[in-house]
Amino acid sequence: MATIKSLEDLLSLHEGVRLKAYDDATGKTVMPGDTVRGNVSIGIGRNLIGNGISTREMKALLKNDIARARKRAERYKWFSAMNPPRQAVIVSLIFNMGNIDSFVRMRAAIAVKDWETSAVELLDSKYSRDVGDRCLILSDMLRSGKWP
């Protein structure tokens, strides 16, 4: 049996530790489109439906997610040479979509610092059609190198 020395240890033992959202009635990981019988929970019994998260937790999650997206962005040789607003565009895209692999022409234009073409290529994408005005802002940031 596990050694229990604190309330945290006791709750971890009883609730389990789950790093992905799960249905607390079935214990199954929640996937898109699933019907949930109980509450969507995560971590050590955190009821996301009833309790949600605090502002402090939201900011901690955001900080971690930005760091993860930035690390992915840094694999592009040209990323470190971009100014902060342009870097923010790339990190934002990766944050939203997981990667920018499908933006072949945009990435090629960025590699040669052709900001006009990179902005146009971003606008001429399925992503742009899906997110609308958000992409107008990002495109302008790529073009100008300035914050909106």
Give me the percent of the chain exceeding a pLDDT of 90. Answer: 98
Q: Which CATH class is domain 55-144?
A: mainly alpha
d(CA 75, CA 99): 11
Angle of CA points 126, 70, 52, to nearest 5°: 80
pLDDT value of position 134: 95
The domains of the chain are located at 7-47, 55-144
- Distance from C-alpha of 134 to C-alpha of 138, rounded to nearest angstrom: 6
pLDDT at 2: 77
pLDDT at 1 over 80: no
Q: What is the pLDDT of residues 70-123, one digit of tens each?
A: 999 999 999 999 999 999 999 999 999 999 999 999 999 999 999 999 999 999
Tokens of 53: 């998260």
Residue found under tokens 């342009």: 86
**How much of the chain, in percent, has pLDDT values that exceed 70?**
99
3-state secondary structure of 47: strand
